[in-house]
Amino acid sequence: MAPTTPRETDAPALGLRELADALEGTPAERGLRERKKRSRRLALIDAAQELVAEHGLDAVTVEMISAQAGVSPRTFFNYFESKDDAVLGAEDAGLPDDVVGTFVDGGPTGRLLSDVQVLVAALLATADEGHDRVRRAVDLVQQEPRLLQRHMAWLDRHQKRLGEIFEARRAAHPFSTDTELLNLLVLMLLRTSLAAWERAGCTGRAADHLPSAVSQLLDLAAGDVAP
């Protein structure tokens, strides 16, 4: 019990509280409330994925999902905007700041495509964290094409941020590629990698299949320039 974090001091510093909070125990365990919230969220995702896997997307109602998770139907919508979001376990997993910083500063390699690849790898890495649930989500997307639309919605949420990142890099290190095209490139690499990962039985990390996707793209271009 080393009192390194003085979080019981009452009066003193102004930022100490926030500092303590930041350093304190894993970001998910700061009180029963937070823990229950997280737990319920996961319970809802599990319930949704399980039921959909068994009965199909359209045959499952939010009422069933909430019942299985042991909460009221109304509570369901406190956690997710839509049924589909719950099935996908949609996290707003943001990009790590250091990765973004490096990219904006001209990226690790200085070659746009390679640097975008690093960006995508970072996105895939966050997906690896919730391995099981992501795997089930990817499986379900294969079976239920409607969910693919939500996948696009997920990109929408990040499109703004991605756009800003691309523009920021462009400012200091100009390139001619449309932001629009780059956004779609990210989606393409993401989906292709995830698809390959799933074909491989979801073993290892999804990012391992990223280089293959990129080289396919390069081959495609090379074959067109000098057949």
- Return residues touching DNA (CB under 7 A): 31-34, 36-37, 40, 60-63, 71-72, 74-75, 77-79, 81-84
Phi and psi dihedrals of 108, rounded to 5? -60, -35
H or E element at residue 131: helix 131-143
Pairwise CA distance, residues 165 & 213, whole Å: 22
42: helix, coil or strand? helix
Pairwise CA distance, residues 205 & 183, whole Å: 23
Considering only residues 19, 28, 200, 218, which one is a binding residue for a second copy as defined by CB under 8 A?
Answer: 218
Pairwise CA distance, residues 107 & 116, whole Å: 8
Cβ distance 116 to 185 under 8 Å? Answer: yes
Contact region with a second copy (CB under 8 A), list: 27-35, 42-50, 69-77, 210-218: 210-218
Query: Hey, which residues between 118 and 147 contact a second copy (CB under 8 A)?
Result: 145-146
What minimum distance in Å lies between the beta carbon of 154 and a second copy?
Answer: 10
Would you say 17 or 111 has its CB closer to a second copy?
111
Binding site for a second copy (CB under 8 A): 110-114, 145-146, 148-153, 156, 175-178, 180-181, 184-185, 187-188, 191-192, 195-196, 213, 216-225, 227
